[in-house]
Amino acid sequence: MDERFADVGRGITLCYEQLGDPGGRPLLLVMGLGTQMIGWPDGFCELLAQRGFRVIRFDNRDIGRSTKLRDKPPPSLAAIVTRSRAAAAYLVRDMADDAAGLLRALDVHAAHVAGASMGGMIAQALAIGHPDKVLSLTSIMSTTGGRFVGQPAPQILPTFLRGPARDPDQAVERTVALFRLVGSPGFERDEHELRAMVRLSLERGAGDTAGTGRQLQAILASKDRSRALRRVVAPTLVIHGTADKLVRPSGGRATARAIPGARLELIDGMGHDLPKALWPRLADLIADNAVRADVRAHAA
């Protein structure tokens, strides 16, 4: 990996990587809760690069090789349950400011933006708070932050209440078990590649459950974005799997309803992951949405 670092302001340094033609259309990929930038698989990024994108992926704050806010305590279980804002070290909008800072650091005036899960929330907040930075928006398996949409299936919750893994092997097997619960039942899952990704994540600095806890509290303490999403002007695509048990499809539907002119793509058999069999389709959808933005920009 050709990893680099950028100071994005307010004491935050992000680890990032760029793939594809440096002169291509910039595409910022934003990953989800507790997941490093390698959650965007190399092969998927290569497909995006083949479609003319300069792909930029990065570790969010508190994960991977980006800044860890270790001086901020992780939330208690009570704080998580009550969605305490006082217990939040930061909010989703602060993570969106990080993304905007990364684009500035890279001298990218504006980019196409795609986010998955929590990354979709960050991408939405970026389009709300920094509309000049977002050429097009693709929100994947995400939600608006509304209390009554996109909530996880009850059987998933105990998985997130366990203590930290005792060793790397247990961390790997816990992740495999999680994706057996929330992954795509309609598509083959390569557990060998999943295990390899988790082991690479551990080498890059995973295992800090406090950071994931702070990210989770940022999600829970942030306001419902539904009203603010009405102001989004970037051409928007919302992608959601019909079999998603972690962020249920109501979250995707609510996002598409909230953003004027948004297109909703529901994919049968897709859960809360990016199965390899779907990579070409997802890459085409992101590229088509970017073309829609380019056409509108040229017509303006």
pLDDT (tens, 9 = 90+) of the chain, 300 residues, equals 799 999 999 999 999 999 999 999 999 999 999 999 999 999 999 999 999 999 999 999 999 999 999 999 999 989 988 999 999 999 999 999 999 999 999 999 999 999 999 999 999 999 999 999 999 999 999 999 999 999 998 888 777 667 778 888 988 999 999 999 999 999 999 999 999 999 999 999 866 688 999 999 999 999 999 999 999 999 999 999 999 999 999 999 999 999 999 999 999 999 999 999 999 999 999 999 999 887 776 665
pLDDT score of 153: 87
Domains in the chain and their CATH numbers? 4-299 (3.40.50.1820)
Question: Hey, how many other C-beta atoms are within 10 angstroms of the C-beta on 104?
Answer: 15
CA distance 148 to 235: 25
pLDDT score of 205: 83
Tokens of 167: 């060793």
DSSP labels, 254-270: HHHHHSTT-EEEEETT-
Alpha carbon distances (Å) from 140 to 36, 117, 137:
16, 6, 10
pLDDT digits (tens, 9 = 90+) for 82-139: 999 999 999 999 999 999 999 999 999 999 999 999 999 999 999 999 999 999 999 9
pLDDT score of 77: 87
Pairing of strands 25-30, 111-116: parallel
